[in-house]
Copies of this chain bind each other. A is one copy, B any other.
Amino acid sequence: MPTPFTYINAAMSIDGKISTRQRCQVRISGDVDFERMDELRASSDAVMVGIGTVLADDPSLTVKSDEKRAKRLAKGLDENPVRIVVDSKARIPTDADILRKGAGKIIIAVSESAAFDRVESLRKKAMVIMTGGDQVDLPELLSVLDEMGIKSLMVEGGAGLNWGLVKNGLVEEIYSFIGNLIIGGSNAPTLIDGDGFDEADMPTCSLISAEKMEDGVLLKWKLKNS
């Protein structure tokens, strides 16, 4: 089934961490990377995060630049791309920033294990897509999104959602900015967590580009098996 062009964009430390062991957000990149990320958002049909990221960081996922939002409007698009949260049990707080801030469509992807009343109350604030039994069925979700006309999907983490998507072969490219700091910690989230691959199943990539940016490096990878 067709799925959108799906890519992960993330900032990590020298040692592969995307936040601290307490899941506290860390400023890993600077203004240039922020600008680049905002441009990616503005040029994508949709952006997606996992519920872990919403609970930890409470991002709004809106396009920050007035100019970029105006450009989208001028093209007949919503100010912001469709914003999607992958949240099997509908745990998202109803006052989460993503539900309160910014114009445009919001989708909460839940599974059949979500409580009925939570799903009903979410329907007042967002579109709800239900797939999967215990957890969201990501291949099915992405094919529904594709049918809805979402052809480019920017994934903004975190570690668990990235794993789910990569494991299911749904990711085409990974852009990782490596900032000039060390976070450390065997329990800090990394770019891709989850169970991890056995050697025989590890996806390989080709390096699209490696470029110095501010105090770090931006690496772009293309997955070979996607």
Contact = CB atoms under 8 A, between A and B. Distances in A.
A221 B14 contact: yes
Do most interface residues of chain A lie in helix, strand or loop, or is the interface mixed? loop
A184 B212 contact: no
Interface in A4-34: 12-17, 20-21, 24, 26
B166 A199 contact: no
Nearest to A174: B14
Given A210-B212, A217-B207, A186 B193 contact: yes
Given A191-B16, A192-B15, A221-B14, A184 B197 contact: yes
Contact of A26 (B202, B203, B210, B217): B202
Interface in A147-184: 159, 163, 166-167, 174, 176, 178, 180-184
5 closest cross-chain pairs (CB), A and B: A16-B16, A185-B196, A186-B193, A15-B191, A15-B192
Interface of A: 12-17, 20-21, 24, 26, 159, 163, 166-167, 174, 176, 178, 180-199, 202-207, 210, 212, 215-217, 219, 221, 223
25 contacts: A12-B16, A14-B174, A14-B192, A14-B221, A17-B196, A20-B197, A166-B182, A180-B204, A180-B221, A182-B197, A182-B203, A182-B204, A182-B223, A184-B193, A184-B194, A184-B197, A185-B192, A185-B193, A186-B187, A186-B194, A188-B196, A207-B215, A207-B216, A210-B210, A210-B217
